[in-house]
Every structure is written in C-alpha cells, then in structure tokens.
C-alpha cells in the first residue's frame, strides 16, 4: 500500500475502534478490581521469588529499525568531579519496553497515564516454543489461548498475557531479528488472539521478541487494534522460562515521562 | 574545600569503605532471604491496593542543577507515518529516580546490576513532616529511626527506608528546591541515620526530595557513604502520604541500561 493509503486505512480503522475503546474503558473498573483481587491471591500464595523479566541493554541491543536505541555520554566523571552522571539518548521503543496506546494513535493514553492497577497484575504465559522452532514467524493464535484456558483455567480480568516463543535466548544473535537472507523473522501475536483477549478483559500483552506482531507482518494488525482499544504491550521480555504458565504476578515498571508513547521499562515477576 | 582536596578526601574515604562494602556484601544473601520472606508475608496480608510513588515528569520537573532533565523530540509522527516515537535526551538523575553505587564510586554496582530481590521489598516510612515544616533542611536522625522501631517493631533486613518530609506536595513550586533567596533547602537523611541503617541491613533509602542529603549539605556525607557501601537510593518519591508507616511492599522499577549510574524509575507500592 502507498503511504497515503496506509494513513487512510489507519484513520478509518481508528474511527471504528473508538466505540470499542469506550466499551473497553467502561468495563475497565470492574476488570481492574477483579485483577487486583487475583493478584493479591497469587501474591499470598507466592514463594517470594523475584524473577527479572528485563534484558540489560546498551547500544548493541537489537532494535526494530536496526539503529542503536541508546547512546550514553559521560557528562560528569568521578575521577575528575567526584561523582558520575551519563546523558542518555534513547529512542523510546528500545530494550525491554512498553508500547502505550499513544504509540499507534493520535490521542490515545500515554505511557505516563497507564492505570497503575494494570501495572501489577496476574501473568499468564502462553508457550509456543514448539511451533516457533519450525516457523520463525509463528503466531499466538486464538486456539493457543483456548488451549491455555483448558489447561490452566480462566484468564483473570486485568491480566498480562505473555508469549514465550523461546526467542529471548537468541537476543545476542542476528537471528533474534532476521533470517540469514536479511528478512524480518520473529514470532508475535495474531489479531484473532488479541481480539479474544479484548473480549476476555486482559489489560496487556507481552512478547519475548521485537514486536507484538510477527516479523513478517505487513499490516501491524495487532499494533493497530490492541493499542488503539486502550491496551498496552511489552516487547523484548526476558526469562519467561523461569516462570510457570500461571500463578506469577508481574510488576511493570513503565516509564512516566509525560506524553510518552512508551519506553524502556523494568519488568519483574514474583512467583 | 578545593576540588583536589575533595577528590583526595573521597579517595581516602573510598578506601576505608571497601572493607565495609565487603562485609555488607557478605551479609547480603541472608539479608535478602529475610527480606523476601518479609515481603511475601506483607504481600499476603495486603489489600491489593497499588499506590504509584512516581512523579510524571517533563522538562519542567525540578532538577538538582536547575537545568531540564529530559528533552523530547518527535522523530516519527502518527499523522504522517501512522505511528509515533520520541527521541528522549535524559540526564540520568532526573524525575523519580535511582542513585546506584556507581553514581558516587569509580567501580561500584551499576543500576543494571542491582540485585532484583532488593527491588521488591518491605517499605518502612519515617515521617518527619512536623520538623520539616520549621526547618527546610531537616534530617532523618538516628533518633527518628529508633523512634520508628519503638512504634513499629524491627526494620526488616533488605527493607527500603523512606523519608516522608511532606516535600512531594511542593514539587510544582520553587520551594521544592530553594528558599526565596535562592539557597538550596530540602530535607534529607543524616549520615548517623544511614550508618544505623547499614548496621540494621536495609537495602535502600528513599526521599521525597531532590537528594539523599539535605539541601544545605556541603559534603554529601550520605551519598559518599551509603552508595559506596553497596546500597542504593531513590530520590523524588511521590504519594508517601497514601501509605502506612509499615506493611507496604515497594516495587522499584530501576532502569537497566548497562553501566548506568542510575536513572528515572517507576516506583510503586502495594498495601
């Protein structure tokens, strides 16, 4: 599609989703309360083990556009000044980071305005490692979510639903982002899956890859539906293998710069 | 003191503190385990209420040096490109943020290497609002900690001990940082208090002001003892009035850029 067509398509898509956003917001309060109760229950049963779901990052960390996502300049130096400070130049969507609704909308919720109760919530992990081994652009499908529910019970309202594709183990290698011939290739969510999660009342999705949509996506269908409907996403999660499919509570340390579209976050879980 | 004297003083101070750091590290594992157990106990008794302890910030947020701590440049624009990304220029010690040991040492722990178990821990809040009302450079003293223990019981090992001076309410006003004649004035910790917290085995301290040391400090005694001994600090906390003196669990979303000395963090608590 030409750029103008993409823009028109997006605008039309946005209009039709405003009603969805409104209904989503309306159920938000009840969902939030239910999520909190569930998080509390899960925490009460936890072992107290903290798992860090965040990659440490620097200018070599893989990015979607292939350019360094952070640069650091020492502007105060301990040897000379008695303490040290760096000036950081950060492109928001770098490292383990948040996609706020504002990332893919004209006027959606900024990262600073995400509801705090949606940043501490039950974590449900959907393991698609088996199919991602054979398909570098594998997707979490509606059937994967249904299978998770059959095995683990209902997904709590207000939950974070994360994809574990096994990709975190490749983070230092070129295949985290590309096939050997340079094409994008990494797993993500399908729109049919996130549409179901909207119905269920999940608050956020997370992926252990560079994008909520798979690498070969041409239309960014999940970015253009999940985010505009008032949800948020987490990209480049680490260490999901250290957690059970259900029962963990995630703490999403989203950055809080005003009017931000997202940014590097500290994400941890207690199990 | 001349700059050279300050540096020599710091170096000599650093040497004498290496042994303290080693002993501190040695008790770390036990302290951590005890802290986790306590955090788990506190979480099990919680109401599930999440309190956001983070100020939203932009270029107008007060900083220690008075210069803007963040600048935002829109480098991808929804109206033109179909999505939005900002390039952020951030001086590490801006907004609600972490001071890692590396901030005041040559080779201490970076913000990326803080122990995750010390980022989810019991929160003890010491209220000095009454004396801070009369003294803009009031300090948490050893006696304040002893009084807290008398009223609330032991401070758990691995805890975060935060000062509530009432300063968060002034954050949008000049008096958050200065007296009317331009002198620095804001409350902080005294070294006698943080020395006691080192003995007790606390992992971190937090303040609702611009600095761990009070505004009129000439020697940054807390920065030069607490941080080099392997602890971390949190500055510019918000909403401490919404929490009880004891019983809350703090989630410290420290940033994870490699070799960082600190940086903007998302800090929340559950009570």
pLDDT tens sequence across A113-160? 999 999 999 999 999 999 999 999 999 999 999 999 999 999 999 999
Q: Would you state the structure tokens that stand for residue A149, as one six-digit string? A: 């529910």
Residue at token pair 């040497």: B15
Phi, psi of A208 (to 5 degrees): -100, 30
Q: B87 versus A44: which is more confidently predicted?
A: B87
Q: In whole angstroms, what is the distance from residue A69 CA to residue A92 CA? A: 8
**Domain over B4-270 is classified CATH 3.50.30.50:** yes
CA atoms within 13 A on the CB side of A162: 35
CB contact under 8 A, A83 and B103: yes
Residue among A203, A243, A261 at smallest CA distance from A53? A243
- Among partner residues A83, A88, A266, which is closest to B104 by beta-carbon distance? A83
On whether any CB of chain A is under 8 Å from the CB of B4, the answer is no
On whether any CB of chain A is under 8 Å from the CB of B130, the answer is no
**Which chain A residues are within 8 Å of B258, Cβ to Cβ?**
56-58
Domain boundary assignment for chain A:
4-270
> Kind of pairing, strands B188-189 and B232-235?
unpaired
Q: Would you state the structure tokens that stand for residue B17, as one six-digit string? A: 């503190």
CB contact under 8 A, A87 and B88: no
- Average pLDDT of A41-50? 72
Q: In whole angstroms, what is the distance from residue B126 CA to residue B40 CA? A: 22
The answer to whether the beta carbons of residues A66 and A174 sit under 8 Å apart is: no
Q: In whole angstroms, what is the distance from residue A2 CA to residue A10 CA? A: 12
Q: In whole angstroms, what is the distance from residue B214 CA to residue B209 CA? A: 9
Say what the pLDDT of residue B46 is.
Answer: 66
SS3 content of chain B, % helix, strand, coil (to 5): 35, 25, 40
| pLDDT tens per residue, range A165-208 | 999 999 999 999 999 999 999 999 999 999 999 999 999 999 99
User: Which run of H or of E encompasses A234?
Assistant: strand A232-235
* A227 CB-near residues (< 8 Å, 6+ apart): A99, A100, A101, A103, A104, A105, A108, A233
Task: Return the residue of A nearest to B69 by Cα.
Answer: A87
Say what the pLDDT of residue B141 is.
Answer: 98
| pLDDT tens per residue, range B52-100 | 999 999 999 999 999 999 999 999 999 999 999 999 999 999 999 999 9
pTM: 0.88
Mean pLDDT over the full length of chain A: 89
Count H helices and E strands in chain B, helices first: 6, 13
CB contact under 8 A, A56 and B86: no
> Any bridge partners for residue A178, and if so which?
A184
- Average pLDDT of A37-48? 64
- Among partner residues B44, B86, B258, which is closest to A43 by beta-carbon distance? B44
ipTM attached to this prediction: 0.88
CB contact under 8 A, B56 and A223: no
Say what the pLDDT of residue A48 is.
Answer: 81
Q: In whole angstroms, what is the distance from residue A10 CA to residue A1 CA? A: 12
Task: Return the residue of A nearest to B219 by Cα.
Answer: A82
Using 50 as the pLDDT threshold, list the residues of chain B that sit under it. 1-31
Q: In whole angstroms, what is the distance from residue B67 CA to residue B78 CA? A: 30
On whether any CB of chain B is under 8 Å from the CB of A245, the answer is no
CB contact under 8 A, B95 and A46: no
Helix/strand/coil for B250: strand
Say what the pLDDT of residue B34 is.
Answer: 54
Rounded to the nearest angstrom, the gap between the alpha carbon of residue A49 and the centroid of all alpha carbons in its chain is 22
């Amino acid at each position: 599609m030409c750029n103008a067509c993409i823009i028109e398509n997006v605008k039309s898509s946005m209009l039709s989703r405003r009603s969805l956003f409104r209904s989503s917001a309306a159920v938000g309060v009840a969902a939030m309360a239910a999520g909190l109760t569930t998080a509390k229950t899960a925490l009460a049963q936890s072992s107290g083990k903290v798992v860090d779901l965040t990659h440490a990052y620097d200018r070599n960390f893989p990015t979607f556009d292939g350019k360094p996502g952070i640069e650091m300049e020492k502007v105060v130096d301990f040897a000379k000044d008695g303490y040290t400070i760096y000036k950081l130049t950060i492109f928001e969507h770098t490292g383990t980071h948040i996609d706020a609704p504002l990332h893919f909308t004209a006027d959606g919720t900024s990262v600073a305005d995400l509801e705090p109760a949606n940043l501490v919530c039950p974590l449900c992990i959907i393991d698609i490692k088996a199919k991602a081994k054979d398909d570098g652009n594998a997707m979490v499908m509606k059937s994967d979510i249904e299978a998770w529910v059959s095995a683990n019970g209902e997904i709590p309202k207000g939950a974070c639903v994360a994809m574990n594709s096994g990709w975190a183990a490749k983070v230092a290698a070129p295949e985290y982002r590309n096939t050997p011939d340079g094409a994008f290739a990494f797993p993500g969510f399908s729109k049919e899956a996130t549409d179901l999660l909207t119905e269920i009342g999940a608050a956020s999705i997370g992926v252990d890859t560079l994008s909520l949509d798979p690498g070969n996506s041409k239309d960014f269908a999940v970015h253009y539906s999940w985010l505009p409907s008032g949800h948020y996403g987490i990209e480049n999660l680490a260490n999901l293998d250290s957690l059970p499919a259900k029962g963990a509570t995630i703490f999403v340390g989203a950055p809080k710069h005003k009017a931000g579209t997202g940014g590097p976050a500290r994400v941890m879980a207690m199990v």
